[in-house]
Structure 1
Amino acid sequence: MTIKTSTGLRNYVMASGSLKAALDGYVLNIYAGTEPATADAALGAATLLTTVSVGGTGTGVTFASAAADGVLQKNASEAWSGTIVAGGESLPAVFYRLQAPDDTGLASTMARRVQGGVGPSRDLKISSTTLVVGNEQPIDSYYLSWPYMPGV
């Protein structure tokens, strides 16, 4: 699986500000269902399993104050977690979106989003895709790397 970035995020980083500035204060939502083809696409019938924030409080997450070797990591001083509101064998975690807290999930080329797969060997590594309602889902490690993009 490949991390997908929205048009709005790419445009923001290219002309307006840093990746950190674009994503600080966002939440990481984990979903069951079919992953949208792009981060611009609507969520469709996907089911929200949990919203990950700082300590599960609803406060948006932040990233480290500096990147190293093209990698921006989660702020090490923050514990990212969320209470699971839906899940079980019939609703496995499939994908996530790092998005603004007020993002409605509708199709948008303006919203700044990062989207990727969820699982033991996917973009967002969690030990099991079977989440138990009422449990906390911690995210101990999260980072974004910037690829080398040659001119044409």
Structure 2
Amino acid sequence: MTAKISTGGVVAMLDTPGLASALEASDGCELRIYAGAVPASADAAIGSATVLCKIKKDGTTPLNLEISGGVLAKPVADTWSATVLTSGVASFFRLVRIPDDDSLSTSAVRIQGSVAQVGGDVNLMNTSLVASTPQDIKEFIIGIAEAAV
């Protein structure tokens, strides 16, 4: 699956100050990992999917992002982690502002992508997450591809 950026995310990329700042605005952002059917777009509601965990810096602080040369990334020195909320098999993620309610929205700033052991937009050592166990993200790098207009 190719990472998908919501309409709000695309607008943020085209406007000042940019995607990283738009995600970090107000209450900051987090990386949510879900089990279940992958929504058709980052604008779509999550439907019956279940949030498995909400990744934050050191497990509690909104995430920091770096953007350079068309790449949005986790700062190398940051620790991104969470405690798994409920057990399940991870299938996709969304990088969202913390207040995002996961409903249909063309204004919410979101990045959605696949989760796998190999070949996902986010790769985990094990996609079967177990409630109350720690989960971390060692690397997070999303390339923003040039699109024909």
**TM-score normalised per structure 2:** 0.91
1:82-93 residue pairs with structure 2 within 5 A? 82-87=82-87, 91-93=88-90
Unaligned stretches of 5+ residues in structure 2: none
Question: Highest CA radius of gyration, 1 or 2?
Answer: 1
Q: Partner amino acid for 1:14?
A: L
1:10-29 residue pairs with structure 2 within 5 A? 10-24=10-24, 25-29=28-32
CA RMSD in angstroms comes to 1.3
**1:109 and 2:106 equivalent?**
yes
Contact preservation (8 Å) 2:44, 2:105: yes
Alpha-carbon separation, structure 1, partners of 2:46 and 2:86: 16
Alpha-carbon separation, structure 2, partners of 1:133 and 1:97: 19
- Give the length in aligned residue pairs: 145
Alpha-carbon separation, structure 1, partners of 2:90 and 2:32: 10
Higher share in strand? 2
Higher deviation after alignment, 17-26 or 128-137:
17-26
Instruction: Give the structure 2 partner of residue 96 of structure 1.
Output: 93
Percent identity, aligned pairs only? 37
Unaligned stretches of 5+ residues in structure 1: none
Instruction: Give the structure 2 partner of residue 45 of structure 1.
Output: 48
Alpha-carbon separation, structure 2, partners of 1:73 and 1:30: 17
Contact preservation (8 Å) 1:23, 1:62: no
Contact preservation (8 Å) 2:64, 2:74: yes
Secondary structure at the residue paired with 1:94? strand
Q: Partner amino acid for 1:76?
A: V
Runs of 4+ in 1 over 2 A off after TM superposition: 148-151
Instruction: Give the structure 2 partner of residue 126 of structure 1.
Output: 124
Alpha-carbon separation, structure 2, partners of 1:112 and 1:72: 14
Q: Partner amino acid for 1:32?
A: A
Alpha-carbon separation, structure 1, partners of 2:134 and 2:59: 8
Residues 29-87 of structure 1 show CA distances to partners (whole Å, capped at 9, x for unaligned) of: 00111110000000111111000001111x210113x51x4223211221000100111
